[in-house]
Amino acid sequence: MEPITRHTRIVKQTAARLGFQFCGISKAEKLEAEAPRLENWLKNGLHGSMSYMANHFDKRLDPRLLVPGARTVISLLYNYHNPEIAEATDAPRISRYAYGEDYHIVVREKLFEFLDSLRSQIGEVHGRVFVDSAPVLEKAWAARSGLGWVGKHTNLINKEQGSWFFLAELIIDLPLEADGPVKDYCGSCTRCIDACPTAAITPYEVDGSKCISHYTIELKEQIPKNESHKFENWLFGCDICQEVCPWNRFAQRHAEPRFEPVSGLLQMSKNDWQELTEEVFGNLFRKSPLQRTGYPKLKENFSLIFSPAPMQPSGND
């Protein structure tokens, strides 16, 4: 067996052993087709207050600038799907990815184990691991390697199991056999576009400045009052476009113990969230992605989202 074939097989087997549901491989090269799309998205201000998205433009497009000597991008999907939601229908909602321990920690540990395993089986392998932590166009690389296609809501959709996945990468100097992309299966469906309460989605593009996840997590200023009443109880993040996607009927529940909901989370009522103290927040969500928003912002979100909707001017005004 040729070394490149043997090494590729080792990579795929290692990914499966570590619990990654899917693994795809791409040649490390410049993403030429993505350059104008990214440039237009930034030029039109669709990144909202996420100014960091405009940084390192060239590195986002060429992994060889991010990892000198890179030959291969290994793309990985790690399932976080949990069909459970809050028991109280009027309770605030948080994105499923934030139910348990911070995925940056959990998945990064697996990636380092992955790299160590490759070195023990193959020999000297140089590279870096990434999980939503650097200027890497994760969805573009995952699509290029055949793990799915980028849907109209701009999430990666896998034909076998939907979109409830964390994306991660190893960018390494080891040449491997590349996989190829798959076709787009969104067809004429517009459910994600139709369901978005803030009209943030147009086909294959999201206006980050209108996205509920941006408002509740990224935005440092106060959420505009004329927008917050549209959030449908989403306190941290938003899953609406994934919940309505037909491909997620194939989603399977995750098997990662560290992603299980923190104790009592889904039993918390609206009143429990309203009376949440900073001390309880710190203890309950110590390892949670909710730490990114922090207690003051979370409480501010709550007060705005659950305040009465602004009065609309009457025709006689």
Which residues participate in catalysis according to the annotation? 132
The two tokens of residue 234 are 């989403």
Q: Is the dihedral of CA 73, 241, 262, 279 positive or negative?
A: positive
* Half-sphere exposure at residue 212, Cβ-oriented, CA atoms within 13 angstroms: 25
CB 177 within 8 A of CB 4: yes
Lookup result for tokens 């392998």? 125
Helix, strand, coil share of the chain (percent; to 5): 40, 15, 45
- The rounded distance, in Å, linking the Cα atoms of 185 and 189 is 9
CB 96 within 8 A of CB 164: yes
CB 10 within 8 A of CB 175: no
Helix (H) or strand (E) holding 152: none
Helix, strand or coil for residue 130?
strand
For the chain, the distance separating the N- and C-terminal CA atoms, rounded to the nearest angstrom, is 80
Which residue type does 268 have?
Answer: M
Beta bridge mates, 206: 201
Per-residue burial over 216-239, b if 16 or more Cβ lie within 10 Å, else e, is bbbbeeebeeebbebbeebbbbbb
Helix, strand or coil for residue 206?
strand
Q: H helices then E strands: how many in the chain?
A: 13, 10
Beta bridge mates, 26: 73
